[in-house]
Amino acid sequence: MPDILSLSKLKILIISHNRIQYLDLSVFKFNQELEYLDLSHNNLEKISCHPTLNLKHLDLSFNPFDALPICQEFGNMSQLEFLGLSATQLQKSSVQSITHLHISKVLLVLGDTYGEREDAESLQDLKTQSLHIVFPTGKEFHFILDVSVGTTVSLELSNIKCVLDDNGCPYFENVLSKLQKNSRLSNLTLNNIEITWNSFFTILQLVWRTNIEYFSISNVKLQGYLDSRDFDYSDTSLKALSIHKVVHDVFSLPQGYVYKILSNMNIQHLTVSAAHMVHMVCPSQISPFLYLNFSNNLLTDTVFINCTNLANLKTLILQKNQLKELVNIVHMTQEMKSLQQLDVSQNSLMYDESEGNCPWARNLLSLNMSSNILTDSVFRCLPPQIKVLDLHNNRIRSIPKDVTGLETLQELNLASNSLAHLPGCGIFSSLSILIIDYNSISNPSADFFQSCQKIRSLKAGNNPFQCSCELRDFIQSIGQVSSDVVEGWPESYKCDYPESYKGTPLKDFQVSELSCNTALLIVTIVVPGLVLAVAVTVLCIYLDLPWYLRMVCQWTQTRRRARNVPLEELQRTLQFHAFISYSGHDSAWVKNELIPNLEKEDIRICLHERNFVAGKSIVENIINCIEKSYKSIFVLSPNFVQSEWCHYELYFAHHNLFHEGSDNLILILLDPIPQYSIPSSYHKLRALMAQRTYLEWPKEKSKHGLFWANLRASINIKLMEKAAEIN
């Protein structure tokens, strides 16, 4: 192990279950901080000692040492708490170098050839609180080793086989009888024992009369037949007996006799588990039992029915048996006046409401009914003062809302059921711990923490959370409580659907306030819509949109009629050189100046008072005159902008679709028009005056000639003869 030399800070080294045959402890001379060294289960036969180690844990067990591998230098390990040894022979002198050490636990594994040369007193000087001796496997117990080490409080003996002697197991019984010398010994454990039924009860009787308080027997194989005998329960210090994992090959065993001995024991704690026990009788008198554990057996609902002698019992464990009817369990506990804790988990319990009330033991505070086939109805059959309730791994889909009488419940485990909702605390006013993971909860209520003011631990992870707006509120509520309250957060809380969020931790799920708040969404949409509607309305009023709509309607109708007229025919319909639009207040200038100066040059003028066709609407007459005129002359003055009909005529002339692209408008400014005097609805006039060149009527008479010449030139065109004849 040369690589270890460089690990100067090494504290723990485990190299067990290898093939190491030789060890020189000097290899650890540079590992001064090494505290834990495990070399068990190797092929070590010899070690070379070194004085520098000061370990707390040294395990050399399960190695083929001949003598105890105890170096003189081990005596310097003042911190040694655990020492594991192996040997095929024991000598008192072998342990002298460590007899001054007070070791917490010593493990001694005896090799297969142990017993050939045996020193019965070899361990008497050892000082340890806990001693575990492993005898050779599969070898009949014919040993005389005195295991009553004076300082030992806890003793464990493994691999006890005694089946060949019909008279019992004298060697082992002799070993046990010597335990009486050690007044400090209070714990005895026998592990992996193979004996007869008679020897089993003989051993039990021997231990009964010692100072041992806690006796545990595990991995027991019993053989032979059992002779009826009386068991003496007097003069015992025993408080607890535990028998675990028992097998036997006798089918005609008088089980009633065995059950009677066990049930009448005057001790406080009794455990018989994994023993294929099919029944247990009621004690014949008031029993001192405080704790009974009959888990992993074959007990049925008939156990302890009408048993009134378990009035002192506080804890009963019937886990993993053959229990089926919850009502029978309820009636069983009715006579157990002191019962506070009951475990009937891992059975096949069912409850039918039609079977009546559930008169549980009044003092029952803790009830474990997990891993059964109970449904929602179980909440109608619970003890009135229950504080701790475990119902995980059942078939519960919901908690009935009308359940009452659970005001004292403090801890509730509903994990691994089919609950779709996170329950509130309306009926659990004292609830402080709730475990509800591995259910079908997709949208837990955001009001949970407000409803459960006393909650100090919630475990709700590993549910199929639906990442939505409702879940966002729950996530926010988690952020408002202490980080210690929600267990498993955030690693156990992930989105299950929608698919796009699957696997996303809830703490990373984000959705906008707008998409979740319906009222805010409505306000966000409606308010801008209203503002826009108001703005459009105001703008329409300001720009006189209704007037334009009426004009467009009239113009559209006229255009529809004109679509079917060929272009040649439209040209033939041109009858006038100009259509004149003016205000009635300017009629004197038009009739006295404008018309005479134009018509004397054989220019045809269209006027509304002489050319409008009777019977047609004014708008239609205006459009017809504009269509039949080469140009449209508008006499502009302050009077013009006050005339609505002048406005119509200007609008239609500017939008003359039949002369689209042509320069068909002529503006004559008779009198100056101030910008402020032009109404808002005349924005088209504003634009025309800003963009187009207009003729301004000169006040000087000398300029009139040039004015008329320019005007006549702009409208002079030869009209078709046919059109002229029509006129």
Query: Quick one: 114 and 82 in the same domain?
Result: yes
**More confident site: 703 or 83:** 83
Confidence class for position 570, pLDDT limits 50, 70, 90: very low
| Mean pLDDT for the chain overall | 85
Q: 419 pLDDT exceeds 50?
A: yes
Q: Report pLDDT for 620.
A: 82
Query: Quick one: 658 and 693 in the same domain?
Result: yes
Residue type, position 14, single letter: I
Q: 325 pLDDT exceeds 90?
A: yes
Query: Quick one: 178 and 100 in the same domain?
Result: no
Given 134, 166, 198, which residue is the final one in a domain? 134
Q: Contact at 8 Å (CB) between 447 and 473?
A: no
Q: Report pLDDT for 546.
A: 60
Q: Report pLDDT for 102.
A: 94
Q: Report pLDDT for 711.
A: 81
The answer to whether position 716 is within a domain reads yes
Give residue-wise pLDDT tens across range 626-658: 888 888 888 888 887 777 667 666 666 666 644
Among 21, 12, 24, 85, smallest CA distance to 52 is for 24
Query: Quick one: 584 and 719 in the same domain?
Result: yes
Sequential DSSP letters for 456-488: -EEE--SS-EE-SHHHHHHHHHHTTS-TTTBTT
**More confident site: 222 or 676:** 222
- Averaged over 428-454, what is the pLDDT? 91
- Averaged over 373-395, what is the pLDDT? 94
Lowest mean pLDDT among 340-349, 372-381, 670-679: 670-679
Separation between Cα atoms, residue 127 and residue 123, nearest integer Å? 9
The answer to whether position 345 is within a domain reads no
Q: 448 pLDDT exceeds 50?
A: yes
- Crossing angle of helices 618-627 and 545-562, rounded to 10°: 60
Sort strands 12-14 and 36-38 into parallel, antiparallel or unpaired: parallel
| Residue 82 β-bridge partners | 57, 105
Query: Quick one: 83 and 54 in the same domain?
Result: yes
Q: Please give the share of the chain, as a percent, with pLDDT higher than 90.
A: 45
Separation between Cα atoms, residue 47 and residue 328, nearest integer Å? 64
Q: 563 pLDDT exceeds 70?
A: no
Confidence class for position 547, pLDDT limits 50, 70, 90: very low
**More confident site: 215 or 235:** 215
Angle (nearest 5°) at CA 74 between 70 and 78 = 145
Rounded to a whole number, what is the distance in angstroms from the first to the last CA of the chain? 129
Give residue-wise pLDDT tens across range 576-628: 888 888 888 888 888 888 888 888 878 888 988 888 888 787 778 878 888 88
Q: What are phi and psi of 262, to 5 degrees?
A: -70, -45
Q: Report pLDDT for 252.
A: 62
- Averaged over 490-513, what is the pLDDT? 85
- Averaged over 176-194, what is the pLDDT? 92
Q: Which residues of 531-568 are buried (b: 16+ CB within 10 A; e: fewer)?
A: eeeeeeeeeeeeeeeeeeeebeebbeebeeeeeeeeee
Query: Quick one: 103 and 211 in the same domain?
Result: no
- Averaged over 462-478, what is the pLDDT? 86
Q: Report pLDDT for 430.
A: 92
Mapping DSSP to helix (H, G, I), strand (E, B) and coil, where does residue 674 land?
A: coil
As for how many domains the chain has, the answer is 3
Angle (nearest 5°) at CA 288 between 277 and 238 = 80
The answer to whether position 29 is within a domain reads yes
Separation between Cα atoms, residue 143 and residue 122, nearest integer Å? 13
Q: 383 pLDDT exceeds 80?
A: yes
Among 80, 131, 125, smallest CA distance to 110 is for 131
Q: 299 pLDDT exceeds 90?
A: yes
Q: 439 pLDDT exceeds 90?
A: yes
Q: 561 pLDDT exceeds 50?
A: no
Q: Report pLDDT for 571.
A: 55
Burial (CB count within 10 angstroms: exposed 0-12, middle 13-18, buried 19+), residue 140: middle
CA 75 to chain centre: 56
The answer to whether position 567 is within a domain reads no
Name residue, tokens 């992930």: 494
Q: Report pLDDT for 554.
A: 43
Q: 296 pLDDT exceeds 90?
A: yes
Given 211, 235, 253, which residue is the final one in a domain? 253
Confidence class for position 292, pLDDT limits 50, 70, 90: very high
Residue type, position 234, single letter: S
Q: Contact at 8 Å (CB) between 104 and 131?
A: no
Range of 181-185, 342-346, 509-513 with top mean pLDDT = 342-346
Mapping DSSP to helix (H, G, I), strand (E, B) and coil, where does residue 260 land?
A: helix
Q: Report pLDDT for 539.
A: 75
Q: Report pLDDT for 532.
A: 86
Among 366, 359, 506, smallest CA distance to 443 is for 506
Q: Report pLDDT for 645.
A: 65
Instruction: Give whole-number Cα distances, 65 to 33, 151, 296, 524, 669, in Å.
Output: 27, 26, 40, 87, 132
Q: Report pLDDT for 725.
A: 46
Mapping DSSP to helix (H, G, I), strand (E, B) and coil, where does residue 489 land?
A: coil
Name residue, tokens 């109404």: 679
Instruction: Give whole-number Cα distances, 166 to 225, 424, 448, in Å.
Output: 10, 66, 69
Query: Quick one: 624 and 719 in the same domain?
Result: yes
- Other CB atoms within 10 Å distance of the CB of residue 94: 18
Residue type, position 134, single letter: V
Query: Quick one: 693 and 597 in the same domain?
Result: yes
**More confident site: 479 or 206:** 206
Take residue 198 and report the two structure tokens written for it.
């008679």
**More confident site: 531 or 718:** 531
Given 253, 281, 305, which residue is the final one in a domain? 253
Q: Report pLDDT for 262.
A: 94
Identify the DSSP state of 718. P
How many residues are listed for the chain in this entry? 727
Name residue, tokens 């990373």: 508
Lowest mean pLDDT among 67-71, 389-393, 477-481: 477-481
Identify the DSSP state of 184. T
Instruction: Give whole-number Cα distances, 457 to 136, 433, 460, 478, in Å.
Output: 50, 5, 10, 12
Query: Quick one: 127 and 1 in the same domain?
Result: yes
Query: Quick one: 236 and 113 in the same domain?
Result: no
| Residue 342 β-bridge partners | 316, 367
Separation between Cα atoms, residue 179 and residue 149, nearest integer Å? 9
Angle (nearest 5°) at CA 136 between 41 and 167 = 160
Query: Quick one: 108 and 191 in the same domain?
Result: no
The answer to whether position 387 is within a domain reads no
Q: What is the pTM of this model?
A: 0.71
CATH code of the domain in which 93 resides: 3.80.10.10
Query: Quick one: 124 and 191 in the same domain?
Result: no
Q: 555 pLDDT exceeds 50?
A: no
Q: 459 pLDDT exceeds 90?
A: yes
The answer to whether position 269 is within a domain reads no
Separation between Cα atoms, residue 177 and residue 208, nearest integer Å? 11
The answer to whether position 687 is within a domain reads yes
Separation between Cα atoms, residue 456 and residue 660, nearest integer Å? 83
Range of 141-150, 316-325, 606-615 with top mean pLDDT = 316-325
Name residue, tokens 């101030």: 674
Sort strands 388-390 and 154-162 into parallel, antiparallel or unpaired: unpaired
Output Rg (C-alpha) for the chain, integer angstroms. 55
Q: Report pLDDT for 542.
A: 66
The answer to whether position 672 is within a domain reads yes
- Averaged over 288-295, what is the pLDDT? 97
Identify the domain containing residue 226 by its residue range: 154-253
Confidence class for position 497, pLDDT limits 50, 70, 90: confident
- Averaged over 516-538, what is the pLDDT? 77
CATH code of the domain in which 715 resides: 3.40.50.10140
Lowest mean pLDDT among 183-187, 464-468, 692-696: 692-696
Confidence class for position 567, pLDDT limits 50, 70, 90: very low
Lowest mean pLDDT among 50-54, 118-122, 710-714, 721-725: 721-725
Cis, bond preceding 490 (omega within 30 deg of 0)? yes
Separation between Cα atoms, residue 69 and residue 52, nearest integer Å? 17
